């Protein structure tokens, strides 16, 4: 059996050190012994040990344990996650309790029984492994969050409209106020939500996004509130909802304007009571979330009592952030194009490309019914397909580059091309409101999403 585990033992009694080493060497790969506790800092700075065994009474103080508590404090200053077992020949219940309160993992009396010492160290070793796993998960989560946020590090724009957005974000981020972000699809609502979270007091906690518009009425409660085992046919185990998971952090509810009146009422109850009850359970759980919501519905629709509950609207929109469509901030198009060019040339390991002035004029004149998202996909496509260092107008395929969306001609009877043009017309007619566009086209929002993705719109 392969031995593993690294132990460090401090004691001023050489006999104790050597007998401990003789015993423990049979079970652990490394057992380091030291008489002088003043070496603690230099030793722990150079190497990590799974468990530290520390004598409480050195030559300067035979019985009180004061020295041991002092060295314990130093160890935990160097490594807050250290697993330390205190050892003494003068222990009592009061001292044991104090040791645990001071941060020790366990307390062993000398002379020890070998079996008991091995059992104590074994338990401490498992605790050390758990702490290391938790720390690794924390670091991975931090890195993952950083990677997810890297694409949102900057909201690109210098127009007056975007400067107003930046100002609002900066002011609201420092508070815990609920925020409602209004804007057409593709304007960057999630980007702004992440920016608010990143600048808030909750930035070290979780940012969790949910597209509630994509949830069916039957899934809504299970996904957001959670459920217990047996709550419904497929509930094989307990599951925490998004509100519970995001507690302490920020919960982002996208497409909130698409909720039915029944679901709006259930959401309102959770926000009012600041507690959630899992499906099939009776005991509510307290929640502490900062809520950011988003919708592509126009403000007039939100303020219509037939469409959206006004009491819920007051709850979710303490502060409102309205994002302008790209066609209303055309001066930002060159900045965005340059930003996406750099991003995708780097991503696909391509030499840096430039957009000619003629091509840039074409981009600026285009209506951009899909807003920034459409511009992003357009730049990504041209980076992948073009071998040129200078990108000319003909390399940018824009479905309505020379025509307004209302008079795009049907130049082909090819079904897919005709469908694409109809979608562009419908989305443009309703100024990016996909719910209305889908209704006019006679398809569901989900079907419209799939077609937008299919045609790169």
Token couple for 14:
């050489």
pLDDT at position 7, please? Answer: 92
| pTM for this entry | 0.61
Q: Are residues 73 and 180 in the same domain?
A: no
114 within some domain = yes
- Decide which of 136, 153, 178 is a domain's last residue: 136
**CB count, 10 Å around CB of 421?**
19
Q: Are residues 83 and 101 in the same domain?
A: yes
Q: What are phi and psi of 244, to 5 degrees?
A: -65, -45
- Element of type H or E holding 143: helix 114-150
Give Cβ neighbours of residue 137 (< 8 Å, ≥ 6 apart): none
E-only strand ranges, 139-242: 179-182, 207-211, 226-227, 239-240
Q: Are residues 268 and 341 in the same domain?
A: no
Contact 318, 329 (CB under 8 A): no
Q: Are residues 230 and 336 in the same domain?
A: no
Closest CA to 287 of 240, 332, 333, 248: 248
377 within some domain = yes
Tens digit of pLDDT for each residue in 151-197? 445 688 889 999 999 999 999 999 999 999 999 989 999 999 999 99
The CATH code of the domain that includes 386 is 1.10.8.60
11 within some domain = yes
pLDDT at position 175, please? Answer: 94
Q: Are residues 10 and 125 in the same domain?
A: yes
Tens digit of pLDDT for each residue in 61-104? 555 567 778 888 888 888 888 899 988 777 666 777 777 888 88
156 within some domain = no
Give Cβ neighbours of residue 312 (< 8 Å, ≥ 6 apart): 264, 265, 267, 268, 271
pLDDT at position 63, please? Answer: 54
pLDDT at position 412, please? Answer: 54
pLDDT at position 420, please? Answer: 80
Q: Are residues 343 and 424 in the same domain?
A: yes
What is the rounded CA–CA span in Å between residue 77 and residue 138? 20
Q: Are residues 410 and 261 in the same domain?
A: no
- Decide which of 303, 324, 345 is a domain's last residue: 324
Domain that holds residue 29: 6-136
Q: Are residues 183 and 309 in the same domain?
A: yes
Give Cβ neighbours of residue 187 (< 8 Å, ≥ 6 apart): 323, 324, 325, 326, 371, 372, 432
The CATH code of the domain that includes 204 is 3.40.50.300
- Decide which of 324, 358, 389 is a domain's last residue: 324
The pLDDT tens digits along the chain (457 residues) read: 557 889 999 888 888 899 999 999 999 999 999 888 888 888 888 888 999 998 887 765 555 567 778 888 888 888 888 899 988 777 666 777 777 888 888 888 888 889 989 999 999 898 888 888 887 777 766 666 665 554 445 688 889 999 999 999 999 999 999 999 999 989 999 999 999 999 999 998 999 999 988 888 778 989 999 988 888 888 888 888 999 999 999 999 999 988 888 999 999 999 999 999 998 888 899 999 999 999 988 888 888 777 789 999 999 999 999 999 999 999 999 999 999 999 999 999 999 999 999 999 999 999 898 899 999 999 999 999 999 999 999 899 886 544 444 544 555 556 777 788 788 888 877 767 788 888 888 888 778 877 887 776 7
Contact 356, 370 (CB under 8 A): no
Q: Are residues 237 and 199 in the same domain?
A: yes
As for how many domains the chain has, the answer is 3
152 within some domain = no
pLDDT at position 161, please? Answer: 92
142 within some domain = no
Q: Are residues 349 and 397 in the same domain?
A: yes
Q: Are residues 179 and 315 in the same domain?
A: yes
17 within some domain = yes
145 within some domain = no
Q: Are residues 172 and 297 in the same domain?
A: yes
Q: Establish whether the linkage from the previous residue to 197 is cis, with ω within 30° of 0.
A: no
The CATH code of the domain that includes 20 is 3.40.50.2300
């Amino acid at each position: 059996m392969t031995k593993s585990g690294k132990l460090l033992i401090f004691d001023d009694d050489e006999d104790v050190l050597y007998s401990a080493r003789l015993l423990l060497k049979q079970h652990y790969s490394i057992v380091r012994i030291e008489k002088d506790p003043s070496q603690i800092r230099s030793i722990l700075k150079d190497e990590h040990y799974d468990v530290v065994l520390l004598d409480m009474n050195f030559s300067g103080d035979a019985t009180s344990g004061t020295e041991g508590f002092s060295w314990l404090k130093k160890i935990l200053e160097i490594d807050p996650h250290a697993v330390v077992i205190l050892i003494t020949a003068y222990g009592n219940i009061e001292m044991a309790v104090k040791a645990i309160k001071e941060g020790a993992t366990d307390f062993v009396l000398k002379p020890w029984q070998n079996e008991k010492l091995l059992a104590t160290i074994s338990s401490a070793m498992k605790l050390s492994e758990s702490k290391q796993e938790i720390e690794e998960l924390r670091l991975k989560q931090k890195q993952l969050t950083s990677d997810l946020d890297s694409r949102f590090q900057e909201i690109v724009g210098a127009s007056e409209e975007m400067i107003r957005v930046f100002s609002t974000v900066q002011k609201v981020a420092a508070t815990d106020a609920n925020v409602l972000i209004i804007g057409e699809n593709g304007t960057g609502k999630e980007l702004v939500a992440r920016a608010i979270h990143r600048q808030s007091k909750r930035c070290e906690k979780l940012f969790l996004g949910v597209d509630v518009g994509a949830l069916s009425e039957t899934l809504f409660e299970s996904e957001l509130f959670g459920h217990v085992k047996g709550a419904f046919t497929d509930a094989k185990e307990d599951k925490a909802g998004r509100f519970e998971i995001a507690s302490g952090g920020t919960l982002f509810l996208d497409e909130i304007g698409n909720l039915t009146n029944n679901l709006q009422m259930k959401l309102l109850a959770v926000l009012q009571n600041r507690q959630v009850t899992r499906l099939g359970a009776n005991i509510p759980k307290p929640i502490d979330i900062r809520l950011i919501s988003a919708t592509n519905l126009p403000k007039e629709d939100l303020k219509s009592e037939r469409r959206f509950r006004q009491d819920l609207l007051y709850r979710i929109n303490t502060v409102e952030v309205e994002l302008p469509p790209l066609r209303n901030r055309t001066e930002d198009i060159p900045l965005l194009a340059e930003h996406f060019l750099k991003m995708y040339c780097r991503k696909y390991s391509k030499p840096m490309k430039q957009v000619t002035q003629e091509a840039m004029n074409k981009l600026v004149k285009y209506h951009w019914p899909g807003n920034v998202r459409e511009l992003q996909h357009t730049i990504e496509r041209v980076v992948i397909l073009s071998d040129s260092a200078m990108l000319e107008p003909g390399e940018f395929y824009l479905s309505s580059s020379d025509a307004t969306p209302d008079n795009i001609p049907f130049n082909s009877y090819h079904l897919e091309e005709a469908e694409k043009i109809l979608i562009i017309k419908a989305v443009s007619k309703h100024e990016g409101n996909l719910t209305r566009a889908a209704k006019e086209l006679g398809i569901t929002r989900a079907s419209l999403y799939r077609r937008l993705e299919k045609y790169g719109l």
